[in-house]
Amino acid sequence: MLKRRVDLAAFCFHVGNMSKVSPISAGLAERCPTCGQGRVFRGYLKFKPACEACGQDFTKADTADGPAFFVGFIVLILFAPFGFIIPMADQPMWWKLLMMFGLVFVTIVASLVMLPKAKSLLMALQIANKAEQARFEDR
Ligand SMILES: [Zn+2]
């Protein structure tokens, strides 16, 4: 009975501390996942050390190469088929070359636009889910 009461208290503590801001919408808007107000970047991909509105520490989250992986994967799925379709088109060579250069340009622009969003989203999800480096328990 005592064990059940402790678990319920832990559950209420967890629910009471849940963020009111959706980490997905805050991440895609490049805003703080805790308050939804402060911006997370001080440059193109450089995180600020903390939220200017609520003081949330952004140095805890480390997205590493996750955003680049996901953006590369999405861009590959969206644009790689055109890399096979364009050369097979029954069009003059200059048209195919122009389309391939256009495909390269669109792929690069899409990657550069999506990368900050993906990085902010992963950081927001890490903070919202309290994700951290795995380690052994201290005994
Ligand atoms: Zn904040």
| 136 belongs to a structural domain | no
Q: Cα(8) to centroid of ligand 1, in Å?
A: 29
| 116 belongs to a structural domain | yes
Cβ–Cβ under 8 Å, residues 34 and 19 = yes
Task: Provide the pLDDT confidence category of residue 139 given band limits of 50, 70 and 90.
Answer: low
Model confidence pLDDT, tens digit, residues 58-91: 988 889 999 999 999 999 999 999 999 999 999 9
Q: Cα(42) to centroid of ligand 1, in Å?
A: 14
Radius of gyration (C-alpha) of the chain in whole angstroms: 22
The pLDDT score that the predictor gives to residue 19 is: 52
Q: Cα(78) to centroid of ligand 1, in Å?
A: 34
Cβ–Cβ under 8 Å, residues 49 and 42 = no
Q: Cα(10) to centroid of ligand 1, in Å?
A: 25
Q: In the chain, how many domains are there?
A: 1
Q: Cα(33) to centroid of ligand 1, in Å?
A: 7
**28 vs 15, residue with greater confidence:** 28
CA angle, residues 3, 6, 1, in degrees to nearest 5: 35
| 10 belongs to a structural domain | no
CA distance 104 to 124: 30
| 134 belongs to a structural domain | no
Q: Cα(102) to centroid of ligand 1, in Å?
A: 39
| 34 belongs to a structural domain | yes
Look up the domain containing 23 and give its range.
18-128
Partners of residue 57 on adjacent β-strands: 50
99 Cβ contact partners less than 8 Å away, ≥ 6 residues apart: 82, 86, 89, 91
Model confidence pLDDT, tens digit, residues 5-25: 444 444 444 444 555 799 999
| 114 belongs to a structural domain | yes
Q: Cα(44) to centroid of ligand 1, in Å?
A: 19
Q: Flag whether the pTM goes above 0.95.
A: no
